[in-house]
Structure 1
C-alpha cells in the first residue's frame, strides 16, 4: 500500500460528502494545519512521523498493553456507559459494530462511537461491515450494493463507496469491512450477492474504484483473502476448501486483491479458507498466505482475521479454543484478531491473557507482537491525524434513506 498516496487522499473529504447532497461536510484539512473536532485538536503529520510515533508508543507499552492493542472485540449493546467501560477496562485496540450496536438513527450512533473512544488522540479502530445490500448495519445507507454494482461501470462503485464512506465518517466510524474482493461467477455461490465482480478483471476494476471512493472518508478493507469465490461453502459454518493451484489463483482470484492493494487499501482481512495447494491450514492461520500478501502482493498495511468465532463454529476440534486460535493467528502474521461470534464481555480479556501467556512461554515471539501492535497503532494515529473517525460530526444534518 502506498501510504503517502492514501494520506493525500484523506484530505479530500468534501468529494465523498458531495456524493449525497443532503450531507453536511465534516471538517478535515489536507495540509498540516490543526484539525479541530470539538475540544480536540491534532496536527496532521506525514506517514514517516506517524510510524516513528507509533514505534515510540508501542516501545513504552507493557506486554499486556501490546496484547490488548491487537484485539478487536465486541459486546452486543447500545448502552453508551457499558461500551465506554468495556473499552476503558479492556484497553483493546478496536471494536466492531454489529447490528446489536446500531440504534435507529445517526445521532444516536454518533453518541455510541464517541463512547467507544476513550482517547481521541489514539482512537480505537471502530469498524463496521457496511457493504450495502445483504450486509448493511446502517439502515439509512441508500447506496447500491455489489448485487447491482457488479453490472454497472466501475465509476458507479466509486460513487457508491464514496457515499458509504461519508456515512461512516459522519458517524465516527473509521474502518469499513465493506469491500468484498472475491470473484464469484456462480450465482449459487454463498458470496455471489456480495462480491463486486463475476470475473477477475471486472472484480479488480470495481474493487479499485471502491477503494478510491472510500479514500477520503474511511479506511478500506479487502476481504476475504485469498478469495471466497474459489472455495465453495459458507465459512461461518465450515472451512471452505479448494485445490486451486497457486498459478491459477494468481491469474484469477488473486487479481482483485492485488488491484485493491495497489489502490491503497489499508486493511486486508484473511478468510477461514483452505487453499490446499498452498497450505492445508485456513489462510487466516497460514504463515505462507501472509508471506504471499506481504512479499508478492506488496501489502504493508494491517492484516486482520475474519471473525475467529467462525473457526469455532466450523466444528473442527482443532479450532475449539478461541484463545488458541487468536495466538495461532498472530503467529501466522495477522496484526489484529477479531472476535464476534460467541463473544461475551470476558472474551477479549481472555484473549489478551492468552496472548500474554504465549509471549511469556515463547510460543508467540515478542517481536511478532511488537510488530503487530506497531502497525495497528500507526493506523490508529492516522485516524487521529487525518480526522477520520476521530470525533463524530455532532452538528450534522439528519440523513435518511432518501
Structure 2
C-alpha cells in the first residue's frame, strides 16, 4: 500500500448514486468533472465558483496564481479558474458523502472492531455482511498456518464497494506475534542496537503483513520504561524517551506503504505499575513530566505519519482519574497538543471488565463512555453481539449522553481511513 500522504497519482471519487452525486455537487457548488478529477476542471459559467463565491469579472485575476479569466467576447459570462483539490480533500469529500447516507445505527456499527475466531473465512465474512463494523481483529487462531493460508483468509473478506476492509493484527514481533513466519528482531533486541535495525526489522515485518492481506498493524509500542520488572519492558522500543522516539519513528516509516501503523498504548504504560490486562494501572506523574519523559515517542510516531493511536486502560491521576481510554482530556491532549488527526482506537475494551474494578463492569457503560471520550473505534478481542450494543449506543445519543456530532466525527475518521485503503487497493480508481 502507498499512503495517500505520499501518493502522486490523483484518485477519483466514485459516484455513490445519481441522487447523492447531484446533492454533493449542489453543496460544493462545482461541476462533477471538476470535483471528481475529470477533463474539465474549470468552474462553471454563470458567475459561480467552487467556493460558492462569484467568479471574477473580465480582466480580473483568478486565484493565487494570478491567471486571468477572460470571457468570450460578447458572451457576458466569465469562466473562473477552478481550485486544485488535493487527494486528501477528495477522500474527505467522499467520506462525508458516504456519512450523509448512513443512519445513526449504521454510523455506530461502523465504530466497532471485533474478533471472530477460526481460520474459516465464512463466519468472518458473515459477521461483516450482517453487521458492517469498522473491521476485524485477527488473532493467532485465525492464522495458525503459513502466510499463504492467511492471505487466502483475508482475500475472502469484503464489505462495501468504495471502502476498504480494515483487517487488523497485533504483530509487534517477539512475544507478541501472531504470524509463525515472523522471526524478525523485536523490541527486546532492537532497543539496544542502532536505529537502522529497527527500520529493517519493521520493514520486513510490514512486507510480511502486506503479503498476508493485513491492513492495520497494532504493532508499534511507543511506551517507555527502563524497569525490567515492568510487563511492558520487553515490548518497549526504548528505555528513555529520545531512544524510543527514534525507533518509533523508524518503525512507522518502515511500515508506510505496506500497512497502517498504530502507536500504543497512549498516553504511555511505562510510567505505571501493573498490567492493564488485569487491573487499571495508575501513576501520579504530572503532565509536564509526561510531556518531557513519556510523550516524545508518541509525538515522533504522529509526526512520522501513524494512522492510528491506541488508548491504554491506565490512569495518570494528576490529569484525569479515569483510564485514558475513557478520558476526554487525554483525547484532547492527543488531538490538540500532539496534532493527531487520524483514528483513535481503544485497547481491547473487555480488559476493563477483567480489571475487577466495579465501575468498569458494565460493557454497555464502557462503550458509551469510550465513544463520548473521543474514541473512533471500539476494539473487542472477542465476538460481540453488535445489534444490542448499537441499540444501547443509539439510545445514549438520543438521550444526549453521546453528542451526535461526536458520532459523526468518529465515523468520518473511520470512513476516511477505509476510503484511503480502498484507493490504495484500487490504483487509478
Task: State how far apart, in whole Å, the 2-side matches of 1:126 and 1:72 are.
Answer: 9
Does structure 1 residue 310 correspond to structure 2 residue 307? no
Does structure 1 residue 250 correspond to structure 2 residue 291? yes
Pairwise CA distance, 1:345: 4.8
TM superposition score normalised by structure 1: 0.85
Pairwise CA distance, 1:294: 0.5
Pairwise CA distance, 1:123: 1.9
Task: State how far apart, in whole Å, the 1-side matches of 2:305 and 2:384 are.
Answer: 34
Classify the secondary structure of the residue corresponding to 2:262.
Answer: strand
Q: Is the 8 A contact 2:144 2:180 kept in 1?
A: no
Cα deviation code 1:179-207 (max 9, x no counterpart): 00000101111000000000100000000
Cα deviation code 1:211-247 (max 9, x no counterpart): 1000111111000000000011110000000000001
Does structure 1 residue 384 correspond to structure 2 residue 381? no
Q: Which has the larger radius of gyration?
A: 2
Classify the secondary structure of the residue corresponding to 2:172.
Answer: strand
Cα deviation code 1:296-315 (max 9, x no counterpart): 11111100100000000000
Cα deviation code 1:150-201 (max 9, x no counterpart): 0111111111111111111111111000000000101111000000000100
In structure 1, the partner of 2:4 is 7
In structure 2, the partner of 1:147 is 188
Q: Is the 8 A contact 1:225 1:268 kept in 2?
A: yes
Task: State how far apart, in whole Å, the 2-side matches of 1:297 and 1:33 are.
Answer: 29
Please point out which of 173, 177, 180 is paired with 1:136: 177
Cα deviation code 1:129-158 (max 9, x no counterpart): 000000000110121100010011111111
Pairwise CA distance, 1:115: 2.7
Classify the secondary structure of the residue corresponding to 1:291.
Answer: helix
1:252-291 → structure 2 map (5 Å cutoff):
252-291=293-332
In structure 1, the partner of 2:244 is 203
In structure 2, the partner of 1:394 is none
Q: Is the 8 A contact 2:116 2:123 kept in 1?
A: no
In structure 2, the partner of 1:103 is 144
Task: State how far apart, in whole Å, the 1-side matches of 2:278 and 2:426 are.
Answer: 34
Task: State how far apart, in whole Å, the 2-side matches of 1:388 and 1:167 are.
Answer: 20
Task: State how far apart, in whole Å, the 2-side matches of 1:121 and 1:152 are.
Answer: 42
Q: Is the 8 A contact 1:217 1:388 kept in 2?
A: no
Does structure 1 residue 365 correspond to structure 2 residue 403? yes
Pairwise CA distance, 1:7: 2.3
Q: Is the 8 A contact 2:132 2:159 kept in 1?
A: no
**Larger RCO, structure (CA 8 Å, separation 6 or more):** 1
Q: Is the 8 A contact 1:71 1:352 kept in 2?
A: no
Which deviates further from its counterpart, 184-193 or 355-364?
Answer: 355-364
Classify the secondary structure of the residue corresponding to 1:323.
Answer: helix
Q: Which has the higher helix share?
A: 1
Q: Is the 8 A contact 1:182 1:196 kept in 2?
A: yes
Does structure 1 residue 72 correspond to structure 2 residue 113? yes
Pairwise CA distance, 1:120: 5.5
Q: Is the 8 A contact 2:278 2:354 kept in 1?
A: yes
TM superposition score normalised by structure 2: 0.80
Please point out which of 276, 280, 291 is paired with 1:235: 276
Cα deviation code 1:257-285 (max 9, x no counterpart): 11111111110100001000000000000
In structure 2, the partner of 1:46 is 87
Task: State how far apart, in whole Å, the 2-side matches of 1:357 and 1:115 are.
Answer: 34
Task: State how far apart, in whole Å, the 1-side matches of 2:312 and 2:5 are.
Answer: 30
Which deviates further from its counterpart, 246-255 or 158-167?
Answer: 158-167
Cα deviation code 1:5-62 (max 9, x no counterpart): 95244x5xxxxxxxxxxxxxxxxxx52479xxxxxxxx9x811100111011011101
Please point out which of 87, 92, 95 is paired with 2:133: 92
Gaps of 5+ in 2: 13-36, 38-85
Which deviates further from its counterpart, 106-115 or 237-246?
Answer: 106-115
In structure 2, the partner of 1:374 is 412
